Amino acid sequence: MDIDDIREAIRKKNRHQSTDQIKEIWKNIENQKNLTTREKLEKLLEISRQKKEEKKPEPRVPVEELRSRQPRSPYLVVENNYHLGDSYGQIPISLGLNIPGRILSVLSRDPAFENLSLQGALLLDLETTGLAGGAGTVPFLIGVGYLAEDSFKVQQFFLQDLADEGRMLEEFQALCAEKKFHSVISYNGKGYDVPLLETRFVLNRLRFPLAGLPHLDFLFSARHLWKHKYESCRLYHLALEHLGASRSEDIPSEEIPWRYFQFLRTGDLSLVEPIIYHNQEDILSLYGVVVAGAVMVSQAMENLGQEADGLDLLGVGKILEKAGELEKSVTFYEKALNSHLPSELSVKLKKNLASHFKRCGDFSRAVELWLDLVEHSEDLECFRELAVYYEHQAKNPEEALKYALDGLALARGYHRAYEQDFQRRVERLSRKLEILKSSQK
């Protein structure tokens, strides 16, 4: 049984358990004869909602230790170590030690990663007082993860008093100076976390310790690899679906600032314990998906995707294309087409490949794909491409007219722009053929 089989078994088990629970609840409600069907359904929804609220995550934070600190310190540092022999979901922690810089450079599209590894990389995730960013948004929780000698360490800097933000940033700065991190890894960190954190350092007149470091924002890599395979590429969903992790239900992002401000007002740590747990799990999930994605790309490149399914081949091809390795990406795309992709994806990929071959001047391969598309999908763009090819490249106006007429018939009344294009093409090709016939008499 491979990792995909294991993940599928976990998903089925969880799905069946959830279904059985709902059936049991409904059976009990169904026996209440005094309720209408609508009232029974409303009661089922209410019970389901209550059970969801009762299912609180088990935070891996030293809660009693935090609560016992009196008076309240300006900031807290929460640490957790995960031994290299442990796993996160189906991903062994130690697997991150073997990721070559070559693969990290492909994932990041940054040659600076070529001679680096995950050892010495800083994984970063912030929780903030707002979702819009800007100078008024404060990162009240800085979560970091990094490989230590015998473990993966998660360290969290939690700000308990907004007035002491500078002291917390200095603590983070000291960690970076001690560990000498050579790169940054995040999930949407290029667009949000790193610019926001840099702004806070500037406002506090401190040197930003991550300035100029190579940055792998894995959100973009994850979307290339898995957006066609899973319903969502949110870190939480990938941890569940791809890694098989058992992390608890996420708290809504919009709820995080409210909880923090309530904590500042009341001092009730129970309000922010789920946030600390959520941040810690995001760091672990980020590490897991980076390792899983890197292993997937590395293995596919080594054996040319011989054991991968069509969607994985498509994802690796997209990663290679974005990294500028076009010829290698074409190899994976063609293998993906031979692995029975969903119809809509197959059509889109064939059109993209045909366009690539056209740009490279490889018209024989482009025509092969266009012919396949007009036969199975009746794609108007492909009829047009064939008409253009046979008129200008193959110098065969008769064959070009055939595809122009077919395209015109399909476009008429449905797509005005194509209809006008094909109409002009038919008229011009008809005149060409008349002149050609006249000259042959």
- Fold topology of 342-440: 1.25.40
Summarised one tens digit per residue, pLDDT across range 58-113 is 445 555 555 555 456 788 999 999 999 999 999 999 999 989 999 999 999 999 99
154: pLDDT strictly greater than 70: yes
pLDDT at 254: 86
Summarised one tens digit per residue, pLDDT across range 229-273 is 999 999 999 999 999 998 877 788 889 999 999 999 999 999 999
What pTM was estimated for this model as a whole?
0.80
Does 3.40.50.720 match the CATH number of domain 63-300?
Answer: no
Domain map (residue ranges) of the chain: 3-54, 63-300, 342-440
Q: Which amino acid is at 72?
A: R
Summarised one tens digit per residue, pLDDT across range 180-221 is 999 999 999 999 999 999 999 999 999 999 999 999 999 999
The candidate with the shortest Cα–Cα distance to 213, out of 181, 173, 191, 175, is 181
Summarised one tens digit per residue, pLDDT across range 315-343 is 999 999 999 999 999 999 999 998 888 98
- Side-chain half-sphere CA neighbours of 418 within 13 A: 21
| H or E element, residue 38 | helix 37-54
Structure tokens at 84: 């290299």
125 or 70, higher pLDDT: 125
- CB neighbour class for 439 (10 Å; exposed up to 12, middle 13-18, buried from 19): exposed
Mean pLDDT for 302-310 is 79
Q: What is the mean pLDDT of the chain?
A: 86
Alpha helices in 304-415 (DSSP H): 310-322, 326-337, 343-359, 363-376, 380-388, 397-411
